[in-house]
Amino acid sequence: MIYNLKSYKAKIKVSTSSKRMAAGIYDALGPDLRMLQASDSRSALSLKQTHVVFKIVTSDIASLRASVNSYLRLADVSYKCLMV
């Protein structure tokens, strides 16, 4: 049996024009982030001034890609909803 000890990591910083916009995205994504977490991945969301930061750690590259795509899509939709 072969064990894969690698982990794949991504850190994504979404910049906004204001603290209020960043807080809105953070609040919108918090519940979804907890719901989307798989057993083989860990994700964290933080708010720093006008930035929302995602940290994702997974055991395989396909899971990392899927997580990054999902979180970026959710951040984009949240941003567009707040702009209206």
User: What confidence category does residue 37 fall into, taking pLDDT thresholds of 50, 70 and 90?
Assistant: low
End-to-end CA distance of the chain, in Å?
54
Q: What domains are there in the chain, each with its CATH number?
A: 8-83 (3.30.310.50)
pLDDT tens for 3-27 read 556 789 999 999 999 999 999 999 9
Side by side, which strands form the sheet with 41-48?
A: 8-15, 51-58, 41-48
Would you state the pLDDT for residue 19? 94
pLDDT at position 53 over 80? yes
pTM of the full predicted structure? Answer: 0.78
Would you state the pLDDT for residue 63? 86
Average pLDDT over the chain, rounded to an integer: 86
Q: Transcribe 21-70 into DSSP letters.
A: HHHHHHHHHHHHHHHH--TTEEEEEEEETTEEEEEEEESSHHHHHHHHHH
